A and B are shown apart, each in its own frame.
Chain A
Amino acid sequence: MKSKALLTALLVSLTSIVFAQTEQGKLMVSGRTSLDFAYSKTKMGGSSIPDNGEVSQDSYNFSLMPALGYFVIDDFAVTLQTSYAINNGKTDNQMSQLTLMPGVIYYIPTGSIVRPFVELGGGYANISTKTPLTSGGKATNSFNGYTIGGGVGAAFFIKENIAIELSGQYASVRTKFSGDSSIKMNISGFSGGIGFSLFF
């Protein structure tokens, strides 16, 4: 009888640990949250380089990807995913991308260490490229618009504050050229991923 009571107490405490991560007031942070700045100097040589010579090229890549959420009620969080990246900075292929995507996520309370979730989001997107002109200088082409997306997945809590998340999403980006709104660039597609989430 005593052991049964002890088992019940253990199960109750385990359940409370499982639910504690997604309680009102908790914070979640995507493991992908990072800031990276890389500077690279590349010296290239060989027959495939113009004039059979050698060239030196400096470039940099920058990326900032904060993604976090706040549980406004148990199991339901408002999220903000942002990303800003510059690729091939200083070269003639420079491209920058910015997205600001507020959203929501709901973790289904299963009472186990596996928590399925659904997420929705929408926000602003900008893609800019810089291309060289034969007359000298560079031309900046900018596309602005919106992005929407949604997905489903499952969080496997391997520790009280760490989960491995398996998810599938659909996203659509619809943008217009800043110089002529009749020129559009729309991209849509599916993605699947595995990553970590942290809970505080």
Chain B
Amino acid sequence: MKHTATLYLIMMVFAASSLHAQTEKGQFVIGAGTSIDLSKTESNAALKTTSLNMKANGGYFIIDNLSVGISGSLKAAYGNANVDGIENTDILSEFRYYFNGTHFRPFVQMNAGYRYARLVFTSTDYTAINKAHGLALGGGVGGAFFIRDNISIDLGLQYLHANLKRSTIPYGMNGPIQEEKPFKAVMDDLKLSIGFSMYL
């Protein structure tokens, strides 16, 4: 009876430690959506486009349950249609803390970094395209459901606030144009996402 209880206790401790092993100091976490895609297409209207999409999300556990890393995305397209370069880019630092749990680990995160955006304003008789960049700050909450020792499905809700200013100087026939009111934008984003994470 005593041996059975001891064995049960050892098994419990082992199970708990293996469930927390993924977020131990020295481990890496990588978003499974991390990818690079390059494509070159042509349409029957002779529109040629070369596009690049990059997504990255990952971190390193500097202490147990706290990872420090980056999250970001880059979208760029070049061609002879109305596409002319980088469209939207976020490069953010990410600090994520995982709370203790068994198969479900809630987390909170903070983000700070850089945003570049190609902002299009369209009305029935006017289209304005402005390229702007600036600081982005935010945070989020979520949970990681561990479906394997080294794989989780993550559900996250993230808020980001960005203050952007024009990134290029407008030019006219006589050189740079001094705008009375340079373009600026304030963006408030709320993002809900579900994806996979890997622990290595």
Interface residues of A, Cβ cutoff 8 Å to B = 29, 31-50, 52, 55, 57, 88, 91-93, 132-134, 158-159, 161-162, 184-196, 198, 200
Counting CB contacts under 8 A, is B18 at the interface?
no
Nearest CB to that of A191 among chain B residues? B39
Interface residues of B, Cβ cutoff 8 Å to A = 30-45, 119-126, 128, 130, 147-148, 150-151, 166, 170, 179-196, 198, 200
Once the chains are docked, how many angstroms separate the CA of A198 from the CA of B38?
Answer: 22
Q: Which residues of B contact A192 (CB under 8 A)?
A: 37-39
Q: Secondary structure of the A side of the interface?
A: strand
Nearest CB to that of B41 among chain A residues? A189
The 7 closest A-B pairs by CB, nearest first: A31-B32, A189-B41, A191-B39, A46-B183, A195-B35, A193-B37, A34-B195
- Indicate which residue in A37, A39, A44, A161 contacts B183 across the interface (CB closer than 8 Å): A44
With A32-B32, A193-B38 given, can you name 9 additional A-B contacts, CB distance below 8 Å?
A: A34-B193, A36-B195, A37-B191, A43-B186, A43-B187, A45-B183, A45-B184, A91-B120, A159-B198
Q: Which residues of B contact A191 (CB under 8 A)?
A: 37-40
Give the residue among A33, A34, A35, A46 with the most B Cβ atoms within 10 A. Answer: A46
Once the chains are docked, how many angstroms separate the CA of A196 from the CA of B150?
Answer: 14
21 contacts between A and B (CB under 8 A): A34-B33, A34-B193, A39-B190, A43-B185, A43-B186, A44-B183, A45-B184, A46-B166, A46-B181, A55-B121, A91-B120, A93-B120, A159-B200, A162-B200, A185-B43, A185-B45, A186-B43, A187-B42, A189-B39, A191-B39, A191-B40
Once the chains are docked, how many angstroms separate the CA of A194 from the CA of B30?
Answer: 14
B124 adjacent to A134 (CB under 8 Å) = yes
- Indicate which residue in B35, B41, B43, B170 contacts A194 across the interface (CB closer than 8 Å): B35
Once the chains are docked, how many angstroms separate the CA of A4 from the CA of B148?
Answer: 34
Q: Which residues of B contact A195 (CB under 8 A)?
A: 33-37
Once the chains are docked, how many angstroms separate the CA of A42 from the CA of B157?
Answer: 19
B198 adjacent to A47 (CB under 8 Å) = no
B122 adjacent to A132 (CB under 8 Å) = yes
Once the chains are docked, how many angstroms separate the CA of A30 from the CA of B62?
Answer: 29
Q: Which residues of B contact A40 (CB under 8 A)?
A: 187-190
Once the chains are docked, how many angstroms separate the CA of A67 from the CA of B23?
Answer: 27
B119 adjacent to A42 (CB under 8 Å) = yes
Q: Which residues of B contact A188 (CB under 8 A)?
A: 41-42
Once the chains are docked, how many angstroms separate the CA of A162 from the CA of B143?
Answer: 21
Once the chains are docked, how many angstroms separate the CA of A55 from the CA of B32?
Answer: 37
- Indicate which residue in B147, B185, B191 contacts A36 across the interface (CB closer than 8 Å): B191
Q: Known interface pairs A38-B190, A47-B180. Does A33 touch B198 (Cβ–Cβ under 8 Å)? A: no
A189 adjacent to B40 (CB under 8 Å) = yes
Once the chains are docked, how many angstroms separate the CA of A139 from the CA of B5?
Answer: 72
Q: Which residues of A contact B148 (CB under 8 A)?
A: 161, 200
A45 adjacent to B181 (CB under 8 Å) = yes
Shortest C-beta distance, B168 to chain A (Å), equals 11
Q: Which residues of A contact B130 (CB under 8 A)?
A: 44, 46, 48
B44 adjacent to A33 (CB under 8 Å) = no
Once the chains are docked, how many angstroms separate the CA of A47 from the CA of B151?
Answer: 50
A46 adjacent to B35 (CB under 8 Å) = no
Q: Which residues of A contact B196 (CB under 8 A)?
A: 29, 31, 33-34, 198
Once the chains are docked, how many angstroms separate the CA of A192 from the CA of B170?
Answer: 35
B41 adjacent to A187 (CB under 8 Å) = yes
